[in-house]
Amino acid sequence: METPYMLEDGYRIDLPKLAVGTHHFRTTLEAPFFALFPDSPVHKGNVQVDLRVQRSPTQADIRLTLEGVMVLECDRCFRAYEYALQTEQRLIYDQDSSLKELDDSQTEVFHLPAGTRFIELKQDLYDFVVLALPYRRLPADCPGPACPPQVLRILEQTDDEPTTDAPAATEDDALLDPRWSALAALQKKLPHSDN
Ligand SMILES: [Zn+2]
């Protein structure tokens, strides 16, 4: 088994160093990588990137496999959870600017001007991770909603601070966990200042 090389400076390929043939690289995407993108919806994780580069005199054909976990926030309870991510992508850089896009959503074709030194992969790696994230972030083991703020207020409340504007817990919330129903019932029993 050949040992893959680390990518140049983490996330780029130094083309003049690549002889014609196949090359194997790897890199790891963790918090410092995602910190390079201020608008990133994700910040923590560990994604291993494996790259196979087929170099010809006029082309670099890069096949990437990204595999690892990203830390996401549950849409319902806001707890952090680990999402297993796996995606395969392909980037073709070619000196022939007329090369057509392949009929394949996993492959992107770019023009490679003659004399180009570096292929910078930072943005592509970031895009691949973000595109591989689920639209709905709800792990199967979600324990239910976090204690709603209005319930926390009731639990912390003293008699001289009756609840005023707290909206009632919805039926949907109450169905998720019997403890919330109990708290919602407690909330209904409390006097309201506007009564
Ligand atoms: Zn959850």
Please give the pLDDT value at position 45.
97
Q: Note whether residue 95 is domain-resident.
A: yes
Q: Note whether residue 195 is domain-resident.
A: no
Q: 149-156 and 178-189 helices cross at what angle (nearest 10)?
A: 60
Contact 51, 63 (CB under 8 A): yes
Report the amino acid identity of residue 46.
Answer: N
Please give the pLDDT value at position 7.
81
Please give the pLDDT value at position 4.
79
Q: Note whether residue 85 is domain-resident.
A: yes
Contact 72, 81 (CB under 8 A): yes
- Do 87 and 43 fall into the same domain? yes
Phi, psi (5° rounding) for residue 153? Answer: -65, -40
- Do 12 and 60 fall into the same domain? yes
Rg (CA), the chain: 26
- Cα separation, 24 vs 71, in Å, equals 28
Q: Note whether residue 29 is domain-resident.
A: yes
Please give the pLDDT value at position 171.
47
- Do 12 and 57 fall into the same domain? yes
Q: Note whether residue 99 is domain-resident.
A: yes
Q: Note whether residue 144 is domain-resident.
A: no
- Residues linked to residue 109 through DSSP beta bridges, in sequence order: 92
- Do 59 and 154 fall into the same domain? no
For 152, the enclosing helix (H) or strand (E) is helix 149-156
What is this structure's pTM? 0.71
Tell me the residue range of the domain where 40 lies: 5-131
Q: Note whether residue 184 is domain-resident.
A: yes
- Cα separation, 179 vs 168, in Å, equals 15
Contact 30, 71 (CB under 8 A): no
Q: Note whether residue 139 is domain-resident.
A: no
| Distance of CA 137 from the midpoint of ligand 1 (Å) | 8
- Do 51 and 95 fall into the same domain? yes
- Do 15 and 47 fall into the same domain? yes
- Do 93 and 158 fall into the same domain? no
Q: What is the mean pLDDT, run by run of 10 residues, along the chain of 195 residues?
A: 75 92 95 96 96 94 97 93 96 84 78 91 96 93 74 63 52 53 61 51
- Do 84 and 158 fall into the same domain? no
The residue written with tokens 């972030």 in the block is 137
| Distance of CA 143 from the midpoint of ligand 1 (Å) | 6
| Distance of CA 68 from the midpoint of ligand 1 (Å) | 21
Residues 6+ apart with CB under 8 A from 195: none
- Do 12 and 96 fall into the same domain? yes
| Distance of CA 81 from the midpoint of ligand 1 (Å) | 8
Burial zone of 151 (CB within 10 Å; 0-12 exposed, 13-18 middle, 19+ buried): buried
- Do 103 and 13 fall into the same domain? yes
- Do 111 and 156 fall into the same domain? no
**How many domains, the chain?**
2
Please give the pLDDT value at position 186.
58
